[in-house]
Amino acid sequence: MTLTVTDLAIARGGVPVLEGLGFALEPGQALVVRGPNGIGKTTLLRAIAGLQPPLSGRIEGAEDRIAYAGHSDGIKPTLSVTENLTFWAAVFGARGIEGALDAYDLHELADRHAGNLSAGQKRRLGLARLLVTGRPVWVLDEPTVSLDKEAVGKFADAVRAHLGQGGSALIATHIDLGLDATTLEVGPFRALPKPVDDFDGDFL
Ligand SMILES: Nc1ncnc2c1ncn2[C@@H]1O[C@H](COP(=O)(O)OP(=O)(O)OP(=O)(O)O)[C@@H](O)[C@H]1O
């Protein structure tokens, strides 16, 4: 099933940030969202993940199909790595966490409390979480932050495998992941807040 976005306009903190956005994300396809800091990439991904309503426009094909990984990793600090993955697998009704542990080389960290992991280790766990959701559409906001070169490679491999199984991915990133992906440049769609008009005509 295709995720289709039509004539979308979104705001953050009440201020419009993007408008006129449209794209289709097909099964097996990756779409990389690019644009300068503050342009609205996170806001776009949040809207598509259902975390905030758009100002206008349509998002179709998203219901119960999206696994979202934002800036926080969604991990439970007092649970171990294994317990975190088991928890998320149970939430999504999926079974088996071995593949997720393998994909991000987490076996030697399996019994560690997630709260005591390094930033990059936490990020690996946060990304491994995607693999136990069973959800076909990955919506990922700067997924490689804190990852070393090897872990970035593992992430790119996981995305390729996901696409190969008919999944799709919408990824906001500033780095080249070496994926066979289409790019969505959001800069030109930026909508600026209206300037405040406090000019007093009586002054003349
Ligand atoms: N909680 C908030 N309340 C009000 N405005 C916000 C909030 N979070 C972000 N913004 C503003 O909304 C705009 C869009 O932010 P957003 O995080 O979507 O940008 P981005 O393209 O993802 O940026 P970056 O590349 O730096 O991650 C920015 O101008 C930002 O300052």
Mark which of 135, 152, 180 sits at the end of a domain: 135
Q: Are 30 and 159 in contact (CB under 8 A)?
A: yes
Per-residue model confidence (pLDDT) at position 74: 85
Count of domains observed in the chain = 2
Q: Is residue 84 domain-shared with residue 170, that is, in the same domain?
A: no
Find, among 118, 119, 98, 120, the residue nearest to 110 by Cα. 98
Number of the ligand 1 atom closest to the C-alpha atom of 36: 25
Per-residue model confidence (pLDDT) at position 52: 96
Residue from 33, 42, 140, 185 to probe ligand 1 pocket by mutation (most atoms less than 8 Å from CB): 42
Q: Is residue 58 domain-shared with residue 3, that is, in the same domain?
A: yes
Three-state SS sequence of 139-160:
EEECCCCCCCHHHHHHHHHHHH
Question: What is the residue with the minimal CA distance to atom 1 of ligand 1?
Answer: 13
Q: Is residue 85 domain-shared with residue 110, that is, in the same domain?
A: yes
Interval between CA 43 and ligand 1 midpoint (Å) = 7
Instruction: Give, in order, the Cα–Cα distances in Å from 179 to each of 41, 125, 162.
Output: 19, 21, 12
Establish if 71 belongs to a structural domain: no
User: Could you tell me the pTM of the whole model?
Assistant: 0.90
Establish if 200 belongs to a structural domain: no
Per-residue model confidence (pLDDT) at position 73: 83
Q: Is residue 84 domain-shared with residue 37, that is, in the same domain?
A: no
183: helix, coil or strand?
A: strand
Establish if 175 belongs to a structural domain: yes
Low pLDDT (below 70) residues in the chain: 188-204
Mark which of 120, 135, 150 sits at the end of a domain: 135
Per-residue tokens: 92:
């999504």
Residue from 43, 175, 186 to probe ligand 1 pocket by mutation (most atoms less than 8 Å from CB): 43
Per-residue model confidence (pLDDT) at position 201: 62
Q: Are 181 and 32 in contact (CB under 8 A)?
A: yes
Per-residue tokens: 73:
């990793």
Mark which of 86, 103, 135 sits at the end of a domain: 135
Domain span at residue 102 reads 77-135
Per-residue model confidence (pLDDT) at position 191: 47
Radius of gyration from C-alpha coordinates of the chain = 19
Establish if 202 belongs to a structural domain: no
Per-residue tokens: 120:
């990059």
| CA–CA dist 101, 141 (Å, integer) | 21
Helix (H) or strand (E) holding 88: helix 81-91
ipTM score of the complex?
0.96
Interval between CA 12 and ligand 1 midpoint (Å) = 7
The CATH number of the domain where 61 resides is what?
3.40.50.300
Q: Could you tell me how far CA 198 lies from the centroid of its own chain?
A: 40
